[in-house]
């Protein structure tokens, strides 16, 4: 006589809710994430207890790295487009349409305007190898001041933030602040990392 096998239920598990949740999260993260633009220079900012967040848009970032090189970046493609037109007129350097388009997609750069073409014509991988000496901000040749001034003409709402490396030297920072003050910018932001506020 054959044995009577007990009817075993299949070990099946309904995973529908889990998968639903997973896809919900995927959608959420896809919509919320904004890819950080590739930085030409890595900066380790000092920390502070300040809890003011940087505004979302219209930010002009002046980056100072630990070797005292000054980099310039501004948000907004339209602003950058207008800016390059104004700067090319001011410095009498003609940029082609392609170069202008590339400029409006460039996050930040750190070369004198005379060498800007070289950076704009380089491919993505080549840009990293170009030695960017920083934007001149001396009193004799203050291109940084012109960039700031023309940006403010292109987009009056722009807010200025200085992103300095912990080891950046004070004379360079002072030079930047002095340039800002010369252009009548007396309010600006210093970008820092977060730090817990100590009790006093």
Partner 1 sequence: MAEIQEKGGGGGKGGKKRAKKQSTKIDMTPMVDLGFLLLTFFILTTTFAKPQTMEISMPVKPKTQEEQSELKASNALTLLLGENDKIYWYAGLPDAPTAPGVQTTTYAANGIRKILLDRKSNPDLVVLIKPMEKARYKNLVDLLDEMNITESNKYAIVDVDPRDEKLVEQAKAEGK
What residues between 89 and 108 interact with partner 1 by CB under 8 A?
A: none
Minimum distance, C-beta of residue 174 to partner 1, in the bound complex (Å): 7
Q: Which of 4, 35, 123, 196 binds partner 1 (CB under 8 A)?
A: 35
- Report helix, strand or coil for 74: strand
Q: Does 157 bind partner 1 (CB under 8 A)?
A: no
- The total number of residues written for the chain in this structure: 200
Q: Which of 70, 120, 137, 173 binds partner 1 (CB under 8 A)?
A: 173
Distance CA 191, CA 165 (A): 10
What residues between 45 and 64 interact with partner 1 by CB under 8 A?
A: 45-46, 48-54, 64
Q: Does 187 bind partner 1 (CB under 8 A)?
A: yes
Distance CA 74, CA 190 (A): 15
Residue 87 or 168: which CB sits closer to partner 1? 168
Considering only the stretches 86-94, 118-126, 149-157, 180-188, report the one whose residues sit in contact with partner 1 under the rule CB under 8 A: 180-188
Half-sphere exposure of 43 (CA within 13 A, CB side): 28
* List of residues 6+ apart from 68 with CB closer than 8 A: 134, 168, 169, 171, 172
The DSSP code for 38 is: P
Q: Which of 30, 42, 94, 140 binds partner 1 (CB under 8 A)?
A: 30
Task: Tell me if 166 sits within 8 A of 44, measured CB to CB.
Answer: yes
Q: Does 14 bind partner 1 (CB under 8 A)?
A: yes
Residue 156 or 171: which CB sits closer to partner 1? 171
Distance CA 63, CA 71 (A): 5
Distance CA 5, CA 21 (A): 39
- Report helix, strand or coil for 47: strand
Q: Interface with partner 1 by CB under 8 A: which residues?
A: 10-16, 19, 22-23, 25-26, 29-30, 32-36, 45-46, 48-54, 64, 161, 163-171, 173-174, 177, 180-181, 184, 186-195, 197-198, 200
């Amino acid at each position: 006589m054959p044995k009577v096998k007990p009817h075993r239920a299949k070990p099946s598990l309904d995973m529908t809710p889990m998968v639903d949740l997973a896809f919900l999260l995927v959608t959420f993260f896809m919509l919320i994430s904004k890819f950080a633009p590739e930085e030409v220079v890595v900066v380790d900012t000092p920390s502070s207890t300040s809890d003011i967040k940087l505004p979302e848009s219209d930010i002009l970032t002046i980056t100072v790295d630990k070797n005292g090189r000054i980099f310039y970046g501004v948000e907004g493609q339209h602003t950058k487009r207008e800016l390059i037109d104004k700067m090319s007129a001011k410095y009498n350097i003609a940029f082609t349409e392609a170069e202008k388009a590339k400029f409006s997609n460039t996050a930040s750069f750190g070369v004198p305007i005379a060498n800007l073409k070289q950076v704009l014509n380089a491919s993505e991988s080549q840009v990293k190898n170009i030695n960017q000496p920083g934007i001149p901000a001396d009193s004799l040749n203050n291109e940084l001041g012109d960039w700031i001034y023309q940006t403010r003409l292109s987009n009056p709402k722009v807010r200025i933030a200085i992103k300095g490396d912990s080891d950046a030297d004070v004379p360079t920072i002072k030079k930047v602040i002095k340039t800002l003050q010369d252009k009548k910018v007396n309010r600006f932001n210093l970008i820092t990392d977060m730090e817990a506020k100590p009790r006093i």
